Amino acid sequence: MTARAPIVGACLALSASALLFAQTPHIDTSVKAVTGAASAYVEGYNPKMQNVLADEVAVQRVLTPGGAELQRRTTRADFFLTYLPADATFIAVRDVRDVDGTPVDDPDNIRVLIQRAPLWRLASAIAEKNSRFNIGAITRTFNEPTLALLVLTKRHRERFKFDPIGATPGPHVRIKFKERDRPTLVADTNGVPAFSSGELTIDAATGRVEHTVVEFALKIITARIETTYAEDAKLKLWVPSVMRETYEATGNGLDQTIKCVSTYTNYRKFETSAIIK
Over residues 102-127, the pLDDT tens digits come to 999 876 677 777 776 666 566 667 77
State the average pLDDT over residues 265-272: 88
Residue ranges covered by each domain of the chain:
26-268
Burial code (b: 16+ CB inside 10 Å, e: under 16) for 108-120 equals: eebeebbeeeebe
- What's the confidence (pLDDT) of residue 89? 87
- What's the confidence (pLDDT) of residue 117? 62
- What's the confidence (pLDDT) of residue 17? 47
Percent of the chain with pLDDT over 90: 61
56 phi and psi, to 5 degrees?
Answer: -115, 130
Tens digits of per-residue pLDDT, 210-230?
999 999 998 889 999 999 999
Quote the CA–CA distance of 218 and 233 in Å, as a whole number: 38
pLDDT at 7 over 70: no
Contact 110, 192 (CB under 8 A): no
